[in-house]
Copies of this chain bind each other. A is one copy, B any other.
Amino acid sequence: MGVSIKEIARLTGVSRGTVDRALNDRAGIDPAVKEKVLKVATEQGYRSNKAGRILGLRKKPLRIGVQMPSEGNDFFLGVRAGLERAVAARADFGVSMALRTMKGFDPTLQVRQVRDLLAEGIQALALVPISHPDILALLEELHERHLPVLTVNTDIVGGKRLGYVGTDYLSSGLAAGGVLRLLADGRPLRVLVLTGSFRMLGHNQRVEGFRRALESSAPGLSILGVEETEDDDGIAYGKLSAALDRTPAPEAVYVAAGGVAGACRAIEEHGVAGIGPGRVRIIGNDLTPAIRDYLERGVLTATIGQQPFEQGYQAIRLLFDHHVDGTLPPDRTLTHNEIVIAENLKGGTP
């Protein structure tokens, strides 16, 4: 392979320690010497060796903090599985994880949990950020402390972070619209959209993507209305039940956020589950155990998965690579919007 630090030291006529100082921007080195070392390194096309670096770094192993508002949200089980798998695969490289979770979306609590992690001495953070000024301020502070942060699953507008790993919400809505386009097979259908909250950027982006899909390639599909579920199954159940009793009743439903199971229950209890004339087709999001069950039983028509395992796995991988190498992660690492139906539920990666 390439040249080693030893070789650079020999060529420059300095010690390996000095080469290390020059290459890694450490303090206490004569600028002239540094320049000379850097010049030789460039000439030789020096690239630090990851294996050597990992072993050398073992005295101060990388502890990654993770904070997510995931309690009571099965989606994050998948993210967690991915985080854990990635950490396990790198345990021998000195990687470990400290996890804090909470229920709901209280920014004060999120700040507190992140501070707890900092007190524990984490050197990098993966965060599912709440959209709130306090979180923006926190990110600003972490940036100044040079603590690398990755946002996961949800990004935060204007937040300082190294990168984002998660869903492209617009594409997610597009995919849902696409499935309904196929289902309609050229016929008109009245669609009710249930979103989580109009105040959630991601939710709105999904609805927007859905609209665009219909407009551009399925003009026969008309949106009856867009209602909020507050990510709550009970509310989703209530609103959809009411809609099914009204005239004209929806012939299809797109649940753009939480409440998929509640909506499925409403459809099932109204005796209109399934596809075909007189039935109410329903497209959801994510693949929790409850959603999986509705898919298998033929109540839920399809769901758009956002690869939670992959989100967790990549977050760890990117933070570790950055730690070792200084490799900068892409600004946005987007997971694929998987179309999942009963028939491709099994098999394949999580």
Cα–Cα, bound, A92→B50 (Å): 6
Do residues B343 and A348 form an inter-chain contact, with CB atoms below 8 A?
no
Output the nearest chain B residue to A281 by Cβ-Cβ distance.
B185
- Interface core residue of A184, A281, A348 (most chain B CB under 10 Å): A348
CB distance from A88 to the nearest CB of B (A): 11
Let me know if A339 is at the binding interface, CB within 8 A.
yes
Within 8 A of B (CB), among A167-212: 168, 171, 174-175, 177-179, 181-187
Residues of B within 8 A of A275 (CB): 181-182, 185-186
- Identical copies in the complex: 2
Interface 9-mer from A52-60, A134-142, A236-244? A52-60
Select which of B183, B274, B334, B336 is within 8 A of A183 by beta carbon: B183
Q: Which of B213, B340, B342 contacts A343 (CB 8 A)?
A: B213
A228 interface contact, C-beta 8 A: no
With A93-B51, A186-B277 known as contacts, the answer to whether A339 contacts B336 (CB < 8 A) is no
| Chain B residue nearest to A332 in the complex (CB) | B347
How far, in Å, is A47 (CB) from chain B's closest CB? 8
A92 and B49 contact, CB distance less than 8 A: yes
* A interface residue numbers (CB < 8 A to B): 1, 49-52, 54-55, 58, 61, 91-94, 168, 171, 174-175, 177-179, 181-187, 213, 217, 274-277, 279, 281, 298, 301-302, 304, 307, 310, 334-344, 346-349
Please provide the 7 A-B residue pairs with the shortest distance between their CB atoms, ordered closest to farther: A186-B276, A336-B348, A178-B343, A50-B92, A175-B344, A339-B339, A174-B343
